[in-house]
Amino acid sequence: MRQTPDPIHWNDLRELRDLFLADLPLERPYWTSLRQMSDYDRTLGERIGWKWDTVIKELKLRGWSPPSRVLTDFGCGTGIAARRMLAAFPGAFDRLVLMDHSAIATGFARNKIQEEFTGIPVELKNPSETLEGTILISHVLTELTETAQAGLAERLQSTDAVVWVEPGTVRCGKALVQQREILRERFTMVAPCPHQGECGLLLPENEAHWCHHFAPAPSSAHQDPFWGHFRRELNLDIGPVAYSFLVADKTAAGDGGLSHLIGKPLRAPKFLRVLSCQQEDIAELVASRRSGDIYRPLKQPASPAVYRFERRKNRITGGQWLGGDE
Ligand SMILES: C[S@@+](CC[C@H](N)C(=O)[O-])C[C@H]1O[C@@H](n2cnc3c(N)ncnc32)[C@H](O)[C@@H]1O
C-alpha cells in the first residue's frame, strides 16, 4: 500500500525561508530536527535540485565529467547537491565526503544518501578540514561572513574542481564573479563562462548586470497539487527559478566559440533582445524570425542558454542551441 507522505509544517518552513531571505551571515547552525530537514528537502531543497538538474545538463552538453573520484559536498544541508551529482554520474565516485557545521544536517544527508545510493562510502568531516576532490557548494555563500568567504576561496585552490550553485540574486551573481577571478589563476572555467579571460561583467559599462540564469521546474510539478500548495503557502514561484553558478576544473580544456546568455530575453512583438556573454564581449544581441531556426529556442527560452551564434554586429543571423541535438 502506498504511504501518504507526512504533512509539511508550513509555518516552520516559512520561518526558515525568512531566515534565508534576510541575507545575513548565519554563524550558528539553525537546523533543529530531522522533521524540519525532511520538510526542507521536499520543498525548498527540491527546488534547488531543479537548479542542479539544469547545471548538470549544461555540464554534460559541454562534455564535462568530474575529474576526481572523491566528491565533497560543503555545507551539504540535506545533501541535495551530492544526490543530484551521484544520480547524474553513476559509478564516477569512490567516496563521498559531507561537511556541514550542523551535525543534524550531515546525519540527515548521510541517511538519505545511503538509502538512495547503496555502496558509496560516506564520510562526515568537520567543515574546517582539507577540501578533497570535486567540491560541491550549494546555497552557502550568503551564510558565510566575508572572512569565511575569503577563507573558502583560498581553500578551494588545492581541490580538483568546484561546482558552485547559488541563488540568482544580484549579490550572489556578483559574489561568484569575485570567486571566479580568484579561481581563474589555477583553474579552467568550465561554465557558465565561454572564455578564460577577465569577466566582462567587471567592466564599468556592465555594472547594472549580474550573472544569473533560469532553471525550469519539471513539467510534472506544474500539474502537481503539492506544488500548488507550496506556491500558496510560501509565496514562492515554482519556476523557472533563478540561479547563479560557477564550474571550475584544473584539468578541463575549456571550449571556444560559445555564447552564454545572461538573465531572461526581453521580448518585443517581432524580435527579442538577449544579453550574451562570449569571448569577445558581453553584448545585447537582437534576434528575429530572420535569424532562422535559432529563433525558436531563444524565444522559448530554452535551457541551458548556451549557443553558437552567427552574428552580424549585434544581430543574430543564425547558429545553434547547444541542446538542439538532444
Ligand atoms: C541554505 S542551506 C543549503 C543546504 C544545501 N547545500 C542545499 O543546497 O540545499 C546552507 C547550509 O550551509 C551550512 N553552513 C552554513 N555555514 C557553514 C559553515 N561555516 N561551515 C559549514 N557549513 C555551513 C548550513 O548549516 C546549511 O546546511
Unique residue bearing C-alpha cell 550574451: 276
Cα(234)–Cα(232) distance, integer angstroms: 6
Q: How far is CA 72 from CA 102, 156, 202, 304, in A?
A: 16, 11, 30, 25
The H or E element containing residue 37 is helix 34-42
Q: Per residue in 31-86, pLDDT tens?
A: 999 999 999 999 999 999 999 999 999 999 999 999 999 999 999 999 999 999 99
Residue nearest to atom 4 of ligand 1 (CA): 77
Q: What would be the CATH architecture of the domain defined by 10-249?
A: 3-Layer(aba) Sandwich (3.40)
For residue 138, give the 3-state DSSP assignment.
strand
What is the reported pLDDT for 2?
55
Question: Measuring CA to CA, which residue among 284, 269, 294, 293 is closest to residue 315?
Answer: 284
3 pLDDT more than 70: no
pLDDT score of 326 more than 90: no
Other Cβ atoms less than 10 A from the Cβ of 246: the count is 24
Residue type, 73: D
Residues in contact with ligand 1 by the CB-under-6-Å rule are: 20, 26, 29, 45, 48, 75-78, 80-81, 99-102, 105, 127, 138-140, 143-144, 148
**Rounded to two decimals, what is the model's pTM?**
0.96
77 alpha carbon – ligand 1 mean position (Å): 5
φ, ψ for residue 80, nearest 5 deg: -65, -40
Alpha helices in 62-212 (DSSP H): 80-88, 103-116, 146-156, 170-183
Compute, in angstroms, the gap from residue 31 CA to the centroid of ligand 1: 10
How far, in Å, CA of 217 to CA of 238, rounded?
6
Ligand 1 centroid distance, CA of 65 (Å): 25
Domain ranges of the chain: 10-249, 259-325
